Amino acid sequence: MEIEVRQYMDECNRLRVQLEEVIRSKDTFADPEELKLIEDRFAGQEQVINGLRVENSALISTINNKDDEIRTLRDLFSEQSKRQRSKSNNKQVLKSKKDLRDKEREILRLNDQLRASRAVIEEQRHKLEEASRKQGNNGSILNQSSSTTTNNIINNRSQQQPLTAANNNPLMNSSSVTAAASA
């Protein structure tokens, strides 16, 4: 029992020392100057945190504004590219229309040349018919000389004005002109 009482006394002393330490440490917290320093430190940290929050929200709004500007510029750029493409397409269309008008004029000019050639051929044929009547020859000489004259006239015209369209044009082909003249 003495041992138990002694242990009990040691335990009580130990607890009393700890209690005194706690009371002393509580007194330091109870010191108004230290409390004020701690409160000032917390208030400063709170102000820094609030400042960072405000700065963060300002940066977020700036980033959103810049994103909107980028989207606007991207849309403007795409519209500008579409306009340039449509302008280049319009230029190509205008050029194609001009080429078409030039080809139509060339076709009209070639048609006029064909009519003139037919008139010359017809005139030559009439002259040959009259000459053959005067000489009393039959129509076989007329057909041979008519086709020879027609070929000569067409060859002379094509040598004077070589045209790629005339070569591709079936109306200017010598065999079709000969067939038309003999018809």
Domain ranges, residue 160: 31-182
166 within some domain: yes
More confident residue, 152 or 5: 5
130 within some domain: yes
Banded pLDDT at 169 (limits 50, 70, 90): very low
Banded pLDDT at 3 (limits 50, 70, 90): confident
* The three-state (H, E, C) secondary structure of the chain, written as one string: CHHHHHHHHHHHHHHHHHHHHHHHHHHHHHCHHHHHHHHHHHHHHHHHHHHHHHHHHHHHHHHHHHHHHHHHHHHHHHHHHHHHHHHHHHHHHHHHHHHHHHHHHHHHHHHHHHHHHHHHHHHHHHHHHHHHHHHCCCHHHHHHHHHHHHHHHHHHHHHHCCCHHHHHCHHHCHHHHHHHHHC
Q: What is the mean pLDDT of residues 120-145?
A: 76
pLDDT single digits (tens) 82-113: 888 777 777 888 888 899 999 999 999 999 99
7 within some domain: no
Banded pLDDT at 155 (limits 50, 70, 90): low
26 within some domain: no
What per-residue confidence (pLDDT) applies to 153? 62
21 within some domain: no
Given a cut of 60, whether residue 163 has pLDDT beyond it is: no
Banded pLDDT at 62 (limits 50, 70, 90): very high
173 within some domain: yes
Q: How many domains does the chain have?
A: 1
